Chains A and B, each alone.
Chain A
Amino acid sequence: MKISQIKDIAKSIVTHNELSEKNLNWICSNFSRQELKLFIRLLSREIKDNNVIASFAGELSGANKKKITDMFPNKRISFKRDDTAIAGGIRFEYGDFVLDYSVTGIVKRILNAIAK
């Protein structure tokens, strides 16, 4: 099977957010070991790319949640409250990017700059 085809399968599973037992059995019996390893890797990458974790401190209003959802169209947003690590502001993690708008992040940058 071509890599592009395996990529499309992984993409469609994540887009439709479902993997039936029938499809799973088909994949397991039709993919070689190498293809299966590649499929798992591509699937986990797709899941990572399609999910956004928004970490915040305190309370987040519904309106702000909607604004954040609009910032990342076509992606699944999960909101996580973390008062100790964030302190204030918000931090987004999506794919292998971190967009840090938190107070903790700013303080860290100041401390690093002073240390240099």
Chain B
Amino acid sequence: MKPEEIIQKIEKELYSTQTNPELVNFGIVETVGDEIVKASGLSNAGYYEEIDFDDGSVGFVLNLDEDFVSIVLLRTSGHVVRGMKVRATGKVLNVAVSDKLIGRVVNALGEPIDGAELKHEKPAYYPVEKIAPGIIHRSPVEIPLKTGIKAIDAMTPIGRGQRELIIGDRGTGKTAIAIDTILNQKKLDMGLKRVICIYCSIGQKQSNLASITAKLKDEGALDYAIVVAATSSDPVSMQYIAPLAACAIGEYFMDRGEDVLIVYDDLTKHAWSYRQISLLIKRPAGREAYPGDIFYLHSRLLERASRMSDKNGGGSLTALPIIETQGNDLSAYIPTNVVSITDGQIYLEADLFNAGTRPAINVGLSVSRVGGAAQTKSMKQLAGPVRLELSQFRELQAFTQFGSDLDEDTLKRLERGKRIAEILKQPQYQPYDELSEILSIFAVTSGLFDNIDVGKIAEIERSLTQYIKKTYPETVKKLSVNAKIDDALRAELEKEIQEFKSINNYGAESATA
């Protein structure tokens, strides 16, 4: 800054200074330990109020007892001592938000951790804890949020404003699904408005976070994404606040009428951090040593995801919480809690993952309670038979192990099921647009891939999509309009796919195993 600018700023501050007396509520530190400070005094302190220490440390109030308050330290210089004065700031813990956050990696306090300075211009200050919008302010979830993953967009579609849980054991691809969803928002598919993405990393390794951030940057996703990070080396209080702060950032954009996607990776570690803090401030322990309000912690966080009515801006906040199970146990405490809160779950299985089915989505146990309301008419029409055929295939698969003779119809179903399962596989970081998804699913459900070798399905699917887009723009146009696939369009598509097959000589070999 130039010296003149500095002088101007100082003059502005001097003229605007209030000379009214300042009333400060202060306290004295009585005990310090494990990032929890007990202070006497602070008789006027409120829940979640920010507290300043004499040495520059910052904390917030989490327990109000008769004679003292428990303060959880967020940032500490390490010099907090007994007898130190602490000061209530009079404001609830909040985070500064503005458009400058887009493309940045910040911590739970909204401070940059990506090495560059962050200067907000006229920031808004959003409280980390906020009551969720009421029913009157919301509108139904009807607009799709495309993940670009065929299995999800067809069978467990997500709408803008929904909460869809991604649940599974470690190493099953939960984060991969979330990242692919974020990458897919670059496409602005179906002419929908942009989605601001927030990836909230809770208790993850720094190396993981670095690789995710690098991937987002390489794919250009940081043009519309924000990363909020509280890694495993950060204080547990930061890990506790991180998803709340990320939600506050999302609400800022939602209040401006934008659509926001927020990924909480993962809420299991968030529950652990809350358990640790609660035990340290001597709150009574409940089941599995979690505090009694662990359900409320997640329910109030996830309820803030909503689609607002047009009168209230028309924005939306879609939440993709991630939960890590242990040994495929869906009936554990935290998983069951979050399953009952969310509007559906995408269940990933390690067995499917190891067998090569990636994304390893268990179609039978995955559900979206919003369902077809968040799908286009054509996708809804095509996706209906897919789930049924797949579940029939899984059942019939058991019979093949007996090695008995199967009738022709059963053999056909098995072959069709194999091809559907194959078409639903998808490489990482390659999200599909709506049109490609429709073409792939149509080709396999209409039986046009029945005479193609299962191993070649993936390669042929890619070529087919490119061929149709290049050769038949009229068909592409008809599919882009949100309309059902009528008989005429169906006949047209079948003809074009047959043409593609005959040009490339696909299907000439026997298709049966």
Q: Which residues of A contact B (CB under 8 A)?
A: 41, 45, 95-101, 105-106, 109-110, 113-114
Contact with A along B11-24 (1 / 0, CB 8 A): 00110011101111
A113 vs B15: C-alpha distance in the bound complex, in angstroms?
12
Chain A residue at minimal CB-CB distance from B10: A114
Sample of 30 A–B contacts (CB below 8 Å): A41-B67, A95-B41, A95-B43, A96-B25, A96-B27, A96-B40, A96-B44, A97-B23, A97-B24, A97-B25, A97-B26, A98-B22, A98-B23, A98-B26, A99-B21, A99-B23, A99-B24, A100-B21, A100-B23, A101-B21, A105-B21, A109-B17, A109-B18, A110-B14, A110-B17, A113-B13, A113-B17, A114-B9, A114-B10, A114-B13
Q: Which residues of A contact B40 (CB under 8 A)?
A: 96
A101 vs B18: C-alpha distance in the bound complex, in angstroms?
11
Q: Which residues of A contact B23 (CB under 8 A)?
A: 97-100
Q: What 10 A-B pairs are tightest by C-beta distance, nearest first?
A: A96-B41, A101-B21, A98-B24, A100-B22, A114-B13, A113-B13, A110-B17, A99-B23, A96-B43, A99-B21
A96 vs B44: C-alpha distance in the bound complex, in angstroms?
9
Whether the Cβ atoms of A105 and B13 lie closer than 8 Å is no
CB within 8 A of B22: which of A41, A95, A105, A114? A105
A109 vs B24: C-alpha distance in the bound complex, in angstroms?
12
B42 touches A (CB below 8 Å): yes
Q: Which residues of B contact A98 (CB under 8 A)?
A: 22-24, 26
Whether the Cβ atoms of A109 and B22 lie closer than 8 Å is yes
Q: Which residues of B contact A100 (CB under 8 A)?
A: 21-24
Whether the Cβ atoms of B14 and A106 lie closer than 8 Å is no
For residue B87, give the distance in angstroms from its CB to the closest CB of chain A.
9
Chain A residue at minimal CB-CB distance from B66: A3
CB within 8 A of B26: which of A96, A109, A114? A96
For residue B51, give the distance in angstroms from its CB to the closest CB of chain A.
12
For residue B54, give the distance in angstroms from its CB to the closest CB of chain A.
13
Q: Which residues of B contact A101 (CB under 8 A)?
A: 21
Apart from A96-B42, A109-B22, A114-B10: 18 A-B pairs, beta carbons within 8 A? A96-B25, A96-B40, A96-B41, A97-B25, A97-B44, A98-B22, A98-B23, A98-B24, A98-B26, A99-B22, A99-B24, A100-B24, A101-B21, A105-B22, A109-B18, A110-B13, A113-B17, A114-B9
Q: Which residues of B contact A109 (CB under 8 A)?
A: 17-18, 22
Q: Which residues of B contact A97 (CB under 8 A)?
A: 23-26, 44
Q: Which residues of A contact B43 (CB under 8 A)?
A: 95-96
Q: Which residues of B contact A96 (CB under 8 A)?
A: 25-27, 40-44
A41 vs B67: C-alpha distance in the bound complex, in angstroms?
8
Q: Which residues of A contact B41 (CB under 8 A)?
A: 95-96
A97 vs B43: C-alpha distance in the bound complex, in angstroms?
9
For residue B5, give the distance in angstroms from its CB to the closest CB of chain A.
13
Chain A residue at minimal CB-CB distance from B67: A41
A24 vs B135: C-alpha distance in the bound complex, in angstroms?
61
Chain B residue at minimal CB-CB distance from A92: B21
Whether the Cβ atoms of B25 and A106 lie closer than 8 Å is no
For residue A91, give the distance in angstroms from its CB to the closest CB of chain B.
9
Whether the Cβ atoms of B17 and A106 lie closer than 8 Å is yes
A106 vs B17: C-alpha distance in the bound complex, in angstroms?
8
Chain A residue at minimal CB-CB distance from B88: A96
Q: Which residues of B contact A45 (CB under 8 A)?
A: 67
Q: Which residues of A contact B10 (CB under 8 A)?
A: 114
A100 vs B23: C-alpha distance in the bound complex, in angstroms?
6
Query: Which of A41, A45, A95, A96 counts the most chain B CB atoms within 10 A?
Result: A96
A45 vs B42: C-alpha distance in the bound complex, in angstroms?
12
Q: Which residues of B contact A113 (CB under 8 A)?
A: 13, 17
Chain B residue at minimal CB-CB distance from A44: B40
Chain B residue at minimal CB-CB distance from A48: B41
Residues B127-159 near A (CB distance < 8 A): none
Chain A residue at minimal CB-CB distance from B18: A109
For residue A36, give the distance in angstroms from its CB to the closest CB of chain B.
15
A100 vs B18: C-alpha distance in the bound complex, in angstroms?
12
A106 vs B22: C-alpha distance in the bound complex, in angstroms?
9
For residue A28, give the distance in angstroms from its CB to the closest CB of chain B.
21
For residue B9, give the distance in angstroms from its CB to the closest CB of chain A.
7
For residue B158, give the distance in angstroms from its CB to the closest CB of chain A.
41
A114 vs B43: C-alpha distance in the bound complex, in angstroms?
30
Q: Which residues of A contact B19 (CB under 8 A)?
A: 106
A109 vs B17: C-alpha distance in the bound complex, in angstroms?
8
Q: Which residues of A contact B27 (CB under 8 A)?
A: 96
Q: Which residues of B contact A105 (CB under 8 A)?
A: 21-22
A114 vs B26: C-alpha distance in the bound complex, in angstroms?
23
A107 vs B322: C-alpha distance in the bound complex, in angstroms?
49
For residue B88, give the distance in angstroms from its CB to the closest CB of chain A.
9
A95 vs B21: C-alpha distance in the bound complex, in angstroms?
17
Q: Which residues of A contact B18 (CB under 8 A)?
A: 109
Q: Which residues of B contact A41 (CB under 8 A)?
A: 67
Q: Which residues of A contact B22 (CB under 8 A)?
A: 98-100, 105, 109
Chain B residue at minimal CB-CB distance from A115: B13
A95 vs B42: C-alpha distance in the bound complex, in angstroms?
9
Chain A residue at minimal CB-CB distance from B20: A101
Chain A residue at minimal CB-CB distance from B21: A101
For residue B38, give the distance in angstroms from its CB to the closest CB of chain A.
13
For residue B124, give the distance in angstroms from its CB to the closest CB of chain A.
16
A94 vs B27: C-alpha distance in the bound complex, in angstroms?
12
A114 vs B13: C-alpha distance in the bound complex, in angstroms?
7
A100 vs B22: C-alpha distance in the bound complex, in angstroms?
5
A41 vs B40: C-alpha distance in the bound complex, in angstroms?
10
For residue A114, give the distance in angstroms from its CB to the closest CB of chain B.
5
A100 vs B27: C-alpha distance in the bound complex, in angstroms?
16
A89 vs B269: C-alpha distance in the bound complex, in angstroms?
52
Q: Which residues of B contact A106 (CB under 8 A)?
A: 17, 19
Chain B residue at minimal CB-CB distance from A98: B24
